[in-house]
Structure 1
Amino acid sequence: MNLGEIQPYKEMVSLSVLLQVYYLELESNERRSKEDIIELTWTALERFNIANLGTTESVERLVDGLLWSGNGGDFESFFYDDVTRQMSVQKYKYFTVDEDATRSSWEENGRTIYRLSEYAMELIFMSHEIIDEFQISIKLLEIQMHIKHGRVTRALQDVNELISRVRKMTQQQQEYRNALRRNPKHIFSEFGVARHQRLEEIHHQFEEERKHFDSIHRSLARLANDEKDVIDFNEIRILSERVELSRRVHDELAEVVLNIFEMETNLRLNFPELFWGAAGFNFRTHVWEEWVKEEGLPSGDSLELLLSGLFAPNQDFVYPLPWAWEEQEVGFIPDLVMDDFEDEVDTEPVQYIPKGIPWARVVELWKPVFAALAEHGSFTFTADAFSAEELTGWANTPDAVDLWVQFFHTDFLVQEQAPEGGSGVSDECQQLIQYVLAEDLLLESLRGKTLRTSIAPEPASRVRCPGLDMSPYMITIVER
């Protein structure tokens, strides 16, 4: 067919018209007469910004070309049949008459109502426009339409497909939730931003789908009652069970999605510091792509100067050796200063004295912590929890402060029994607990308890004093 200026766009416009009729049919909307389809064609042209190319004659010709072939019958196409191993002719239509809707329409206004043929439905199913995320309600409307017309087998196939799709979507949401737990900055990923913007839409979507499930169950009940002599009751029972399973997996999806939104909200409100930090800087993006490729270099020597820093054989700075020694578990502490080392040939070798934790001082600082923990079930490290003298002691004992970090982000089980002879405990946290419990027998109630350390929520503030600046850690007993 010759459509004038819209000729190059006929396939795109035709598919858009089929898709619009498909949605109307799912919603049981009878605005599907020839005149209505002409209006839908104009709607498609306007959406594609080519309405100025269309004319009344070309639009009507396009609609006629969708409704009937050139000879007024079926469309025909050649295809190779693998079974017969020869060319065959395929006959098809894009639209067929909707008998039920046309019967009532003829009584009112004498118009014929059309619906999509099976061939046109296949074209729609191959289109990715109806497979977008959270477009489950479209599939539910389709299932309801099949049940309404007594197509039980087709409805069962669609329900199984829906269950598979929802389970896949649930898995994707769970993967995002796990990624969010590992790194809260995933909330700013493209996936996280899109779902946050669609929160109200998704809530509305879930509410609509609940209504669809109710309608499907009512349609199944009517089908089982009205067509009991025609349709196998066992098929109805299987379909009903699969619909119920579909409802359950959809509820699981809704629970996961809403749980993620709750987690995102909690992270944004209560833990904003997790999103702080300067953006990473890398040579390829910030130097090469955004600077060199965009603006270029003044000369070839500039390129050598730019790259020489990446491959320079000599380092600009080498850390002094004493600094490296300070980072080791073993410290070098000479008993005396030897000025005349060359003259002392038979001097005894210098002793390496292992650096250790001053447990007596550490235990003294931690005893009030465990005493409050045993009495109240929790303790928060704040400036108000200690006297000025005790805070000075914490500031002067870094080993005691470091133990807070070792307790952090893990559940710690206090041993039921003290190790015999005080040996066999390699974990420093466990050593601290054993020393504290040995000092105060009233703390034996902590044995067998699980301890958890976290950052205290607001309004607790950071602990700041001369020589000490740390977060307000909170240690609690986890009830099992």
Structure 2
Amino acid sequence: MMIESGFFNRMKKLQSIRMLGSGMDLGELNEYAYEICFLLIQNIFLRELRENENRTRDDMLFITEKILKDMDLQCNKEVVERVVDGTLWYREPTKQEGFKTRIYNEATKTKEDYIFRYFKVDREHSHWEQGGSTVYMLTEESQEMIFITREILEEFGFDLEQFYTLQLIKTGNFAKARNSIDNLMARVRVLINREKEYRRDIIRNPQNIFFDRNIRGKKSEDEIKEQFEDEQKVFANMFSWRNRYDALPEDKKREAEIMFENLERARLLHDSLAKHVMENLALELEIRVKYPESFWKISSFSFKKDIWQNHIVKNGLRSIDDLEGIVSTLFSPKTEFIYPLDWAWSEQIVKKKRSARKDLDTTLDVDWKFRETDWDLLVELYEEVFTALLEDGKFSILQLNEKNREEKEKWLSQRENIDIFMMFVISKVTLDIKHTGEDERLKLFKGLCNKKPIIKALHGKKILSKIEDTEETFAWNELFISPYTIYVEE
């Protein structure tokens, strides 16, 4: 069989992957060594990407402990040290040798020694002269492992592609840098088109604000702004290298200029993406504030009527296997997304307004037009809810049925009073007094802790929900809600 040119270089890349995590004595964790070491490299790479200097050996020990904890693996300090030292150095850590293997070279027709490392010293950030610890960064071999598939690039996103481009510019590899810039522009165009489609979708149906969580995940507006600012800094860092190539030969200098021209187009596209994202965030806010009723429309579609009765019973199925495909999705234990708020509201019954009645309910007709949230009132109302969670571990909305007329008027005075309870119902949340994001449940929790410090005991607790098996209902005037109970996870 003929050996193609380049075999030696290909084998070098494969050997660095093959040897990762090998030779470590981790006891029962030996079978996980490869995955743990790769996750360590991946985490250090992300810190390097974000200019985070916390990449010392001690930092690696902490990262490895966290990885093992996330993987639900039990270990001791000795095992953690073996993982870190076994990724930093070959065999004896005290010798700090590089990894060594022998590979067949098709050019010389002999086996040759190949020595490599997964990490090298980051001299720029080590600050030895100030007594600082050694900071590490990825070698080219480790970077190859990260960049070996486009799937990983997609997972990390735009900032990783930027970082890769910056590394190519620093090393003067203009040809590869131009290709990477083309990838940057292609990625940005995809993101711009996604934002345009998202805008059209939420204008047609505002409820897509809850469904299309894959657009930007759960990031707040401030986090998105900070992300764009960080990406702009990387662009500025790239352009800072322009003047350093003035002394190059004319042909190389022209190649660099073409690359920087393409980079400027990528930066302009990135500015356009930021504009589309911020406009969509503003539109979301406007819809939430001015048209909250658009989220509470009750769907007339149901599985029983539209799928089972009107289609399956009426027309039948081509194969019995089709039935499994339909039913299995309903009982799958894996939930792919968080149920949006309007799904919970779709269970509720909103009746048409009736003429004035003489009974108690007529006094509860309240105008629920948008107004600024009264957080003092929210804290007052939810004090008993969180006190029940603290003392009993649970609170049922049916307990509100015991309220008198004046207390009911307070609960119905603004939508947020009931909405926040439904937010607890729809998705689980871990109470965090230090949270600084936009989650209104955690904002409420912080307010309650300030008013009643004993509630701080719930910090770190996870709140879940369930529906009670009871005939009793929660029905106030035009508001009907199923018997939900929120509770603290044991």
TM-score for the superposition, normalised by structure 2? 0.48
